[in-house]
Structure 1
Amino acid sequence: MLAKVFPIHLKNGNQAKAEELVLAFAPQGPGQEEGTLSFRVYRDPAKPDYLLFVEHFADQAAYDAHTGSSAYKELIAGQFADLIVEFVEIDHELLVGV
């Protein structure tokens, strides 16, 4: 399993628009992808203009399919990317799961 974590800092005042795009993307992209095991996006009520993506994929091929989908290209790499100040892509390996 491949785990990806993305802390994302948004341009000021873009929280609502970013959340709208993520809500539109989830059922069109990850919700349709066999190799996407989970797709979770968190907001921090104390930190505006910030989202945390936590995603799990069956393997690298599943992640590549995810980022190659038309929904991803349009909504995330396209519209959502315009709202970002910076993000970090962090790979994780599962140590313990309950």
Structure 2
Amino acid sequence: MLAKVFPIPLKPGKQAEAERLVHEFAPLGPGQEDGTLSFRVYRDPAKPDFLLFVEHFADQAAYDAHTGSAAYKELISGKFADLITEFVEIDHELVVGL
């Protein structure tokens, strides 16, 4: 399994628009992908203009399919990318899972 974490700082005042795009993307992208095991996006109530993405994929090929999808290209690397100040991608390896 491949685990990805993306702490995403947003441009000031873009929280609502970013959340709208994530809601639009979820059923069109991850919701249709066999290799996407989980797709979760969190907001921090104490930190405006910030989202935390936590995603799990079956393997690298599944992640590549996810980021190569038409929905990803239009909504995430397209519209969503215009709302962020920095893109950080962190790979994680599972140590313990319950």
TM value normalised by structure 2: 0.99
Paired residue for 1:71?
71
Match of 1:92 in 2: 92
1:24 matched residue in structure 2: 24
SS of residue paired to 1:76: helix
Would you identify which runs of 4 or more consecutive aligned residues in structure 1 move more than 4 Å? Answer: none
Instruction: Provide the aligned length of Structure 1 versus Structure 2.
Output: 98
Partner of 1:83: 83
- Normalised by the length of structure 1, the TM-score is 0.99
Q: Which runs of 5+ in 2 are unaligned?
A: none
Alignment partner, residue 52 of structure 1: 52
Q: State the 1:81 CA deviation.
A: 0.1
Please state how far the C-alpha of 1:87 moved relative to its aligned partner: 2.3
CA distance in 1, matches of 2:94, 2:39: 15
Identity %: 84
From the two aligned structures, give the one with the greater strand fraction.
Answer: 1
Return the alpha-carbon distance in structure 2 between the equivalents of residues 10 and 87 of structure 1.
Answer: 10
- Please state whether the residue corresponding to 2:85 is helix, strand or coil: strand
RMSD across aligned positions (CA): 0.3
Structure 1 residue 59, shift from structure 2 partner: 0.1
For structure 1, which runs of at least 5 residues remain unmatched after alignment? none
Partners of 2:65 and 2:86 in 1: CA distance: 23
